[in-house]
Chains A and B, each alone.
Chain A
């Protein structure tokens, strides 16, 4: 692959020019504002400074969002209105319904297992001496890119004809107990579970770290007081620690739900949606890849509508936490 000189030049020009233009905007604008009456200055300055950011957000986020909603009600050529056709397609076609079902599976299992494991591990590790070592081990999958993690697991799930050497770790293990190999990613009873498991494996460390930080913030005096009152360790976890952790659990939980709904890479790399493993995001991608832009837009809008309430919950939580400080 040869990169042309003009590509490099354009990249440099873009990197240099855009900040310079912004700088010019501020300098020239400030020159103008400084000449204005004092009261007008204090009123106009915040708007003036925020305008570029609002402009960027408007052009690159708000406009595409509105346009996506519009396209989802248009035909593919974008020259006539088709009402809810694209949405009806999404909620009636077998392929998209399968993807919807799988996304629900992801939402339920990925979220509950990763958050529950995160809480349990955080609480357990809080009580051992090799805490940081164990945390590193559990956190290790988090920085691995999802594609790399999926490829690692592709090898773990590898399947070869029964009776031959199994190079996949899981099937090699099954072989040692005399069990026939399982085609994890092909068999429709195991494949969704296998994919969700990879997701859980790669995110549990993240949940644990956040929950653990929140756990450390619980004052030891509270726990001491509970012990003085005769509570045993299970009661302390159930009645003291969990309620205090609850705001963090909600935030981590909603983040995980959003992750689950957005799941794409693991499915794309491991099965590419074959054998009924499609999820909403891979479905949206294949609609785009097959040039069904309005259907893809409808899928995108559904996904967005599902995520917005969670975002609102998350933002409220953050605001509450801000207020508590």
Chain B
């Protein structure tokens, strides 16, 4: 045997050396202590969003001499959860948890540092959109925007507004409807369009989310913020008459009479292609309900038209559902950062990102609203979106994102099912009640 001729001691020594190397490498990869020169940051951003963030960081690194170690990590929440469970190193700064259960858990373990410990809170709360920093009237906590025990744990840096009605300015020349009934009363053929609405709900395994944005915007305006939050928290059944009313109103938006191509088209088309019929001749539809991000898809799908926001297309805010008390509710989402390690460098970076000059760089790069009210926008879309966000009484989060994940999946699926077969509404809602019961019991 060949092996038998080798000196076993030499082999053992070789293996031992290798193992030692591996161990020493493993232990040296952690970040050491409270650094004032280096800070590790995780984000979920890539592409243009990541570029914009690098633009934001550049002046900070230049002036402070602090090196920012930036990692794009789309699974950051799970990895931090694992890190907390295993007691391993966490990034200094990363997005905080938006799941209330996780947020409470991490706060109770002392893993998240309060903004109060390093930020001038009066400047922060007075400068930022109130809906992102202030609990609903009469409450001290709002886990949906990171406020626990009266302390803030999520630092808001960007925001988007949902439930905007986009239109082709060359087709729809009328004035924006004030109420939902006025919206439904618009006759599309008056403007040469086939149908009132476009919609497209296909999005792979997340199919149905655009529909959930639509119904969220309805339910939050037909009811007050407390009802909406209770629904998210599983305290309101889906068979509740008000939720059923929401579904019935939603079904008007996707009825064969009102939606371009009928249910099959809505369900078979990817959300990114939803707006295409707006720009066809003749126009397939007058309006598409979608968030602030959608213009990128318009320009991408019609490069030859050279579409410009403000001149070729525009939006109006979601019309009122006729319940004046709830008209101030706006649907949106936000990007946040939390501090996981209290180091001098991490503090400085967090403080910097909360300043208007830093967020102005985000605004200049486009594609988002900052969290600070006083920013200026070159893009007319964001200029108007900032008005919508600024006038919001309550900025309410996307419902599904804050439900237990199986509830969210069933909620999204239910919207596909009722779009496909409106007659199934009652049985679909009964099924959602059953899912709700099981989902909130185990989470």
Contact = CB atoms under 8 A, between A and B. Distances in A.
Interface of A: 1-2, 4, 6, 9-10, 13, 16-17, 20-21, 23-24, 26-28, 30-31, 76, 89, 93-95, 158-162, 164, 181, 183, 185-188, 268-269, 272, 274-275, 286-287, 289-292
Residue with the highest number of chain B CB atoms closer than 10 Å, among A23, A158, A269, A275: A275
Contact of A27 (B6, B269, B404): B6
Contacts of B416: 274-275
Interface stretch (B18-26, B346-354, B389-397): B18-26
A118 to B, nearest CB: 32
22 contacts: A6-B25, A6-B26, A10-B25, A13-B21, A17-B22, A20-B11, A23-B3, A24-B12, A27-B4, A27-B8, A30-B3, A31-B8, A94-B434, A159-B264, A161-B261, A161-B284, A183-B267, A186-B420, A274-B416, A290-B406, A290-B439, A292-B406
Contacts of B21: 13
A275 B420 CA distance: 9
A286 B262 CA distance: 29
Interface string B230-263: 0000000000000000000000000000001111
B265 A160 contact: yes
Contacts of B405: 289-291
B36 interface: no
Sort A-B residue pairs by CB-CB distance and give the 4 closest, nearest first.
A161-B261, A183-B264, A290-B406, A159-B268
Residue with the highest number of chain B CB atoms closer than 10 Å, among A4, A76, A89, A160: A160
Chain B interface, DSSP helix/strand/loop, else mixed: helix
A263 to B, nearest CB: 16
Contacts of B25: 6, 9-10, 13
Nearest to A287: B406
B420 A28 contact: no
Contacts of B265: 159-161, 183
B110 interface: no
Contacts of B434: 93-94
B431 interface: yes
Contact of B71 (A2, A30, A93, A162): A2
Contact of B268 (A6, A185, A268, A291): A185
Contacts of A1: 72
B268 A274 contact: no
A13 B11 contact: no
Interface string B47-85: 000000000000000000000000110000000000000
Nearest to B260: A161
A148 to B, nearest CB: 15
A160 B284 CA distance: 12
Interface stretch (B169-177, B200-208, B307-315, B326-334): B200-208
B11 A23 contact: yes
B267 to A, nearest CB: 5
Contact of B207 (A16, A188, A272, A287): A272
Contacts of B410: 95
A275 to B, nearest CB: 7
B14 interface: yes
B409 interface: yes
Given A10-B22, A159-B265, A183-B268, A274 B442 contact: no
